[in-house]
A and B are shown apart, each in its own frame.
Chain A
C-alpha cells in the first residue's frame, strides 16, 4: 500500500549549515496494519508522519502509494490527503464551526455530499466517538479529550484508507488519555490501517501489529510488539522500552566535588520518583569511594533506573583493572546494604554493580 524508500529530510539553519532530521528511512505499510512509531523526542517521528501526506515535503527518497509516486511533479496531493486522514497533537479543530460542522464540512465541500446526508453521517460518527450530545457546541467549550475525539470523527468523515495519528494524547491531561485511546483501539479492531506516533508504551504494545523504533532520524528497529518489548535486538531499543534513565559521574581525584555529586543524585531520585532510595544510594557511594575503592582513580560512577522494572543500580567502573577490587570482608559489608552485588569484567576494565 505504502512503500517508503531512502526518505530523507534536511533543514537548514539560518547560517546555512545543514541539519538532517530524517536520514534514509525505508519501510512498507500494508493494509490493515496498525503501526506504532516510538522513540525518543527529536528523532523525526512526527516529521516522518507529516512527510507521508506531504504536509512537509521530503528532500530525498521516494514514497509510493498504491503504485503511484506521490513525489512526482503534478501529482494531485489533495486527492492523496482525502484518502489519508490525519489526527494532530493539538486537535486543530476549526474554531469557527460547531462540532457537527467540523465533521460535516469537508464531506460537504469536497465529496459534495448534500447537507442532509453529511449531517446524518456526521451524527453517526459523533455517536461512535461519544460526542453526539455536544454536536452543537463550539470547540472552545470542549475538554482536550473531547476535542481529540471530534478530530477523529472529522477525519473519519472523509472515509480515509489510512489514518496518521501524530501524538494524539500528548497534549492531554492524564485523565483524558484513556477516552481517546479507547476510540483508537476501537478503530484498530475494525481493521483500519493506522500509523500512530505515541509515547504510550502500554497502548503501543496492546494495540499495534507492528512497531517502528525510531532514533536519530531513521527506523532503528522494526518488529512485532513482542519482539520490540521483550527481545529488542538493539541496546538503545531496550533502554527506551524499559525506560532506563541514567546519570554518570567521573570521579577523577581527591579534589572531586562530592557535594555536587550528591546534589545531582538527589535531583535524579526526585525526578524519577525514587526519593526513598536516595539515602541508601548516597551511603553506598560514600562507602565505596571513601573506604573500599579509595586507591583507585579515576572511577566512573553511574546510577541507572529502569522505569518499567523499577530496578535501580549503581555501577562503579575502573578502567584497565582485571580482577575485582573487593576483598571478602568488604563484600560481606556490602551484601546486607543492597539487593545484589555483581562483579564482572568489561571490555575496558572491571565493574562492580550494586542493585538497590
Chain B
C-alpha cells in the first residue's frame, strides 16, 4: 500500500513538473512566410486548420480543445498558436503570459450555422437577424462584448425569462469569452446573446451544449441539434454544407506566442497550487461542474453495468443455443463489438441509429456501453462456468437436486468466485471508458473538467482532481463488487 501511494505521488509530481516546464525561446513573426519550420497549433477541423493545411513547410498540431492547445503552447510543445483574435483578449493574454506576435493579413466573417434540411428555421432566423440588425439590437450586443475590457461576473447581462415550448438545440464548440462561455450553469457571450434574442422572437426556449467541432458538425447534419455556433467562420465550402445566418462580425486570426517577460512570476509551488485550486473549483462555483459530472459518470456507469450484465446473460444463452443461426448471430455480434472502438460505436449509435429519435444522449451512451459490456460479460460468464468441472453438476444431480437447484446451489457460487475478479476489472474499465461521453454532449467528469479548463486554462489542478475522483470511484466500485464474493461457509 505504501509503495502504491509513493508511486501515485511521484506520478502527480511529474505531471506538475511537466506543466511547469518553460521553454526559453523568442519568436519574431513579420509575415506568414516566417512560420516556415515552426510548430503551429490549431483547433482540429477549424477554419484555421484548413487555412494552414496547404502549408507543407510548417508542422501542424491539431487539438480537440482550445485549452489543450494553449497548454501545449505554454509547455513549449508548439511554437505558435493560431486562433481568432477575439478568444484571448488582453486580460487573458497577460494572465497566461502570451502575446500576439502578428495578426493574419485577412479577417474572416463569423456566423451561426443551421442545418440545410431545416429550411423553414433558417429562413425565419435570417429574417429575425435582419430585423435585429435594423433595430440596433445587434449593435448593442456587439458593443457590449467586443470591447477590450475584462467583463467581471457582476457585469454579466441578465438572462431574460424564456418562453415554454420545443427548445432550440444549440451546440457550441467554443467555451471562451466573449463568444460563448459558462458561468455556473448559465451561458453568456456574444453568440449566446444573439441566439437568445433570436429565440425570444421565435417564442422558443434555448438549450446550449458544449461539444467539440467535428461532433458538432455531425450533430447538425443528423439533426441532433438545430444551431451550431462557436466562432464559426463562413467559408464557401461550409456554405455548401450548412445554411449560415448573415455574419455578425469579421475577426482576424492572431498568431499567439509566449511572452517571456510576462511569465517571470514564480509564486512558489504551494502558492500556485492553492491559487489554482481556488480558481478552478471555488471561483464561479466551478466545483458544481465536477459534482454534476460525477453524478453523470456514476449514473451512466452503473446503468451500463446493470444493463450489460443482463444482456450478457442473454448473449451467453445465445452462444450456447442448439440452433446454429442463433449461435451465429451471437458470434457475429461479439465479433462486431470486439472490432469497433467504443467511441466509434457511441458516435454511430448517437448520430446515425438514434439520430432521429428523441432519446437523451445519456440513454444512448448507456446502450453503447452496455453493448460492449454485454459481450465482455458473456465471455466472463462462459469462462467461469466452463472452469467448473462437469463432475460438480453430476454430483449435484446424483444427490437428488434438480437441474436448476444444482446450478443455483453448486455451480453458480463456484463460478462467481472464479469470475468475479475478471468481472470487477471489466466494470472498472467501463467506468474509465465513460470519459468519452463528452463527444455526444454529456457533461460527465472529464467533460466537466474540459469546461473548467476552457475558462481557467489550467492543466494541473483539474486533471489532478478528476484523477483522484476516478481513482476513488474505481476503488469504491471494486469494493462494492467484492461484496458479491460468496461467503466462506454455505451453511
Contacts and interface: CB of A to CB of B under 8 A. Distances in A.
Contacts of A85: 398-399
A104 B490 CA distance: 11
A187 interface: no
A236 B358 CA distance: 80
Interface string B77-90: 00000000000000
Contact of A97 (B389, B391, B397, B490): B490
Contact of B395 (A82, A88, A104, A110): A88
Contacts of B410: 94
Contacts of A330: none
Interface residues of B, number: 22
Report the contact-size class of chain A (Cβ under 8 Å from the partner): 20 to 34
B13 to A, nearest CB: 45
Interface in A313-351: none
Nearest to A86: B398
Contact of A96 (B394, B399, B486): B486
A172 to B, nearest CB: 16
A55 B397 contact: yes
Contacts of B490: 96-97, 101, 105
Interface stretch (B233-241, B372-380, B401-409): B401-409
A301 interface: no
Contact of A79 (B391, B400, B414): B400
Given A92-B394, A93-B395, A101 B491 contact: yes
B414 A95 contact: yes
Residue with the highest number of chain B CB atoms closer than 10 Å, among A106, A108, A155? A106
A109 B409 contact: yes
A152 B394 CA distance: 15
Contact of A105 (B389, B414, B491): B491
A106 B414 contact: no
A105 B414 CA distance: 15
A158 B397 contact: no
A81 interface: yes
Contact of A95 (B392, B394, B409, B491): B392
Contacts of A97: 490-491
Contacts of A237: none
A53 interface: yes
A125 to B, nearest CB: 14
Interface in B392-446: 392, 394-402, 405, 409-410, 413-414, 417
A106 B406 CA distance: 10
B30 interface: no
B489 interface: yes
Given A96-B417, A109-B405, A90 B391 contact: yes
A88 B409 contact: no
Contacts of A79: 400
B400 to A, nearest CB: 3
Nearest to A82: B400
A155 B399 CA distance: 7
Contact of B401 (A98, A106, A115, A155): A106
A106 B417 contact: no
Contacts of A78: 397, 400-402
Interface of B: 389, 391-392, 394-402, 405, 409-410, 413-414, 417, 486, 489-491
21 contacts: A81-B398, A81-B400, A82-B399, A82-B400, A85-B398, A86-B398, A88-B398, A92-B389, A92-B392, A92-B394, A94-B414, A95-B392, A96-B414, A96-B417, A96-B490, A97-B491, A101-B489, A108-B491, A115-B491, A158-B399, A158-B400
The 6 closest A-B CB pairs, nearest first, are A82-B400, A92-B395, A92-B391, A86-B398, A106-B399, A81-B400
Given A55-B398, A94-B410, A106-B399, 20 more contacts: A53-B398, A78-B400, A81-B397, A81-B399, A86-B398, A88-B398, A90-B389, A90-B391, A92-B394, A94-B392, A94-B396, A95-B414, A96-B413, A96-B414, A96-B417, A97-B490, A101-B489, A105-B491, A110-B401, A158-B399
